[in-house]
A and B are shown apart, each in its own frame.
Chain A
């Protein structure tokens, strides 16, 4: 079909390399956000009040403002404010990390809250030090809730990666824009939508398989 031929040529013209950048962005953003989310969660439940306040303020701020605006702010003001000149990719990753880290923290929170209090009390009664208790009791039980939640979050983060074209990362959206400018053909956006759906569905299926595997182990 003629459409498929056009799409194939678009793929060669830049969509394929855009896809690589998209996947790159997603993987790096996920890894960074997973770590950052844990830090945010630790801050949020910290017994030190000022730290907790900072964490909550940060969470509310970054959830109450659009990702697009956050990206443009950080891209425009980070060099001026701190003198750090980050390339576009790193800026985009940083913004996604800050934005999605607030949601990732919720994954960890729900995980740790799912550990029955009785287990912690029993550990204390047995004289376990807090670190041992965390490592041997809380972590294994919580991780069964945390990992699927992180998987779902990663899928949601796939939806945030197209926004990075606004700060200059040449991923699929930017490539599609270029092709639109050259040919005036909007079907390129149909193509990248299909590609995003394929990537997303793969992640979705992987997530469900993973969740099912965790569940059967528990029984």
Chain B
């Protein structure tokens, strides 16, 4: 028998029982990083759209800088940086923070494009009718903006799901993490295909769902 195949079987027998908890970790990291990115991004976007020149330019600078930071150096920075502090971070925590922070500028730009895509005529009509700023934001801006933003946010979150695999390099216990340990222990290189398939099964329905939503929504715009 091909030695690689039996190594694969052995690795699978130890990989599959650990898969549910690893999947949970992967999803946790992705969702938490997404939440951080969405919130920080919202704050950034509000600064960026502020009428004050100073705040807007400062926000633009922050966005331009953080957008260009790659994941590996920043993840290592966060992880090893916190190692010297009393609160040591686990690789998954460091990954959540790093991915979330790096996600924020992209979300901010998406928020901005969504909000700016609203027809100002409609906003002015709302003002003319005496609508309060709150009403204008919730009834006019939000519905239109969300239709523009949602597909792109979905795409970005799928990207975060795939990027979460990098915490494995620091010893994380996500899908790639335990898979990597299995591959290295048993030399079962074909296990990588299984890991890739798992990510594909996770990401493909989500991106399909978002493009379906995008297609459905674009008919009503």
Q: Do A and B bind each other?
A: yes
| 13 interchain pairs, CB-CB under 8 A | A66-B162, A66-B165, A69-B192, A73-B193, A163-B166, A166-B169, A173-B76, A186-B83, A190-B77, A193-B73, A196-B69, A196-B70, A200-B68
Q: Cβ of A197 and Cβ of B176 under 8 Å apart?
A: no
Residue of B nearest to A198 (CB): B68
- Whether A158 is near chain B, meaning CB under 8 Å from some CB there, is yes
Within 8 A of A (CB), among B20-48: none
Contacts A80-B189, A159-B68, A197-B65 known; A186 to B196 CB distance under 8 Å? no
Measured between beta carbons, the chain A residues less than 8 angstroms from B196 are 65-66, 69-70, 73
Q: Cβ of B176 and Cβ of A66 under 8 Å apart?
A: yes
- Whether A180 is near chain B, meaning CB under 8 Å from some CB there, is yes
- Whether A128 is near chain B, meaning CB under 8 Å from some CB there, is no
Q: How far is the CA of A204 from the CA of B64 in the complex (A)?
A: 8
Measured between beta carbons, the chain B residues less than 8 angstroms from A201 are 64-65, 68
Contact of A189 among B76, B158, B165, B193 (CB under 8 A): B76
Q: Cβ of A186 and Cβ of B76 under 8 Å apart?
A: yes
- Whether A155 is near chain B, meaning CB under 8 Å from some CB there, is yes
Q: How far is the CA of A98 from the CA of B195 in the complex (A)?
A: 18
Residue of B nearest to A177 (CB): B76
Contact of A68 among B70, B83, B166 (CB under 8 A): B166
B151 to chain A, nearest CB (A): 14
Q: Which stretch, B51-59, B119-127, B137-145, B200-208, touches the partner chain A?
A: B200-208
Q: How far is the CA of A176 from the CA of B189 in the complex (A)?
A: 28
- Whether A10 is near chain B, meaning CB under 8 Å from some CB there, is no
Measured between beta carbons, the chain B residues less than 8 angstroms from A70 are 196
- Whether A107 is near chain B, meaning CB under 8 Å from some CB there, is no
Within 8 A of B (CB), among A38-54: none
B 152-190 to A, binary, CB cutoff 8 A, 1 in contact else 0: 000000100011011011000000100010000000011
Within 8 A of A (CB), among B61-106: 64-65, 67-74, 76-77, 80-81, 83-84
Q: Cβ of B77 and Cβ of A189 under 8 Å apart?
A: yes
Q: Cβ of B73 and Cβ of A192 under 8 Å apart?
A: yes
Measured between beta carbons, the chain B residues less than 8 angstroms from A197 are 65, 68-69
Residue of B nearest to A190 (CB): B77
A173 to chain B, nearest CB (A): 5
- Whether B210 is near chain A, meaning CB under 8 Å from some CB there, is no
Which of B65, B81, B83 is packed against the most chain A CB atoms within 10 Å? B65
Q: How far is the CA of A186 from the CA of B75 in the complex (A)?
A: 11
Residue of A nearest to B200 (CB): A64
Q: Cβ of A161 and Cβ of B70 under 8 Å apart?
A: yes
Interface size on B, residues (CB 8 A): 36
- Whether A86 is near chain B, meaning CB under 8 Å from some CB there, is no
- Whether A115 is near chain B, meaning CB under 8 Å from some CB there, is no
Contacts A163-B72, A189-B76 known; A65 to B189 CB distance under 8 Å? no
Q: Cβ of A69 and Cβ of B76 under 8 Å apart?
A: no
Q: How far is the CA of A199 from the CA of B69 in the complex (A)?
A: 10
Measured between beta carbons, the chain B residues less than 8 angstroms from A165 are 72
Q: Cβ of A193 and Cβ of B74 under 8 Å apart?
A: yes
Q: Cβ of B199 and Cβ of A66 under 8 Å apart?
A: yes
A 59-76 to B, binary, CB cutoff 8 A, 1 in contact else 0: 011011111111011001
Q: Cβ of B71 and Cβ of A162 under 8 Å apart?
A: yes
- Whether A172 is near chain B, meaning CB under 8 Å from some CB there, is yes
Q: Cβ of B192 and Cβ of A189 under 8 Å apart?
A: no
A100 to chain B, nearest CB (A): 13
Measured between beta carbons, the chain A residues less than 8 angstroms from B69 are 159, 193, 196-197, 200
Residue of A nearest to B165 (CB): A66
Measured between beta carbons, the chain B residues less than 8 angstroms from A193 are 69, 73-74, 77
Q: How far is the CA of A76 from the CA of B191 in the complex (A)?
A: 11
Q: Cβ of B165 and Cβ of A69 under 8 Å apart?
A: yes
Which of A65, A155, A172 is packed against the most chain B CB atoms within 10 Å? A65
Q: Cβ of B84 and Cβ of A186 under 8 Å apart?
A: yes
Q: Cβ of A189 and Cβ of B200 under 8 Å apart?
A: no
Contacts A65-B199, A159-B68 known; A73 to B73 CB distance under 8 Å? no
Measured between beta carbons, the chain A residues less than 8 angstroms from B71 are 159, 162-163
